[in-house]
Amino acid sequence: MSQQSQHPGPSEERVEQVMGNLLRIGVMASALVVLLGGLLYLMHDGRQPAQFQAQPQELRSLAGIVRQAAVLDPLGLIMLGLLLLIATPVARVIFSVAAFVLQRDYLYVLFTILVLVVLLYSLFSGYLSGSGAL
């Protein structure tokens, strides 16, 4: 029996190709957004001495970051780029779950959901305990 008939749905090669593209696009988009934010920051505040302080309140929530990035605020763009970078592997794991479901490979679905739960818990545990910024 061929490998294709054992696992219906997309082939392993196709899944790997889409996952590779997902990671590449996510990292490139993140880099471009951070680069744009960095360039705007240097153009606006590049001559000011560095001031190390807490993040502004508007950059402590996802909605605030998106709002600031939409108006091309340099720090908002940098934060959005970093969030895109963090979201890229999460999107990969979510895509993997969907691919394994389509292939009816339920053991891998179970393991991948477990990985997703651990990943999401590690990302949001500070927020859920009340000590997180987002």
Count the domains in the chain. Answer: 1
- pLDDT tens by residue, 112-124: 999 999 999 998 8
Domain residue limits at 88 = 10-128
Query: Does 28 map to a domain?
Result: yes
Helices (H), 1-134: 3-6, 12-45, 62-70, 74-102, 106-128
Model pTM? Answer: 0.79
Query: Does 1 map to a domain?
Result: no
Query: Does 15 map to a domain?
Result: yes
Query: Does 52 map to a domain?
Result: yes
CB 78 within 8 A of CB 37: yes
Query: Does 73 map to a domain?
Result: yes
pLDDT tier, 131 (very low <50, low <70, confident <90, very high otherwise):
low
Query: Does 122 map to a domain?
Result: yes
- Greatest alpha-carbon pair distance for the chain in Å reads 68
Query: Does 108 map to a domain?
Result: yes
Residue 119 buriedness (CB in 10 A; 0-12 / 13-18 / 19+): middle
